Amino acid sequence: MTPAAWVRDHADLLPVSGRALDVACGRGRHALWLAERGLNVLAVDRDAAAINAVREAATQRALPVAARVGDLESGDYQLDAAAFDVIVVIHYLHRPLFPALLAGLRRGGLLIYETFTRAQAHRGKPTNPDFLLEEGELRRLVQPLEIVDYREGLFEEREVASVVARRS
Ligand SMILES: C[S@@+](CC[C@H](N)C(=O)[O-])C[C@H]1O[C@@H](n2cnc3c(N)ncnc32)[C@H](O)[C@@H]1O
1 lines ligand 1 (CB under 6 A): no
Look at residue 1 in the predicted model and tell me its pLDDT. Answer: 83
Q: Which atom of ligand 1 is nearest to the CA of 4?
A: 8
User: Looking at residue 77, what is its pLDDT?
Assistant: 86
User: Residue 19 half-sphere exposure, CB side, CA atoms within 13 Å?
Assistant: 14
Q: How far, in Å, is the centroid of ligand 1 from the Cα of 68?
A: 12
Give the alpha-carbon dihedral of 61, 77, 19, 168, to 10 degrees. Answer: 150
pLDDT digits (tens, 9 = 90+) for 22-49: 999 999 999 999 999 999 999 999 999 9
Residue 75: the pLDDT is 87
- CATH 3.40.50.150-classified regions of the chain: 99-168
- Give the per-residue pLDDT at 76: 84
- The domain covering 99-168 belongs, at the CATH homologous superfamily level, to Vaccinia Virus protein VP39 (3.40.50.150)
Q: Could you say which residues of the chain have pLDDT below 70? A: none
78 neighbors 103 (Cβ within 8 angstroms): no
pTM above 0.85, yes or no: yes
What pLDDT is attached to residue 68? 97
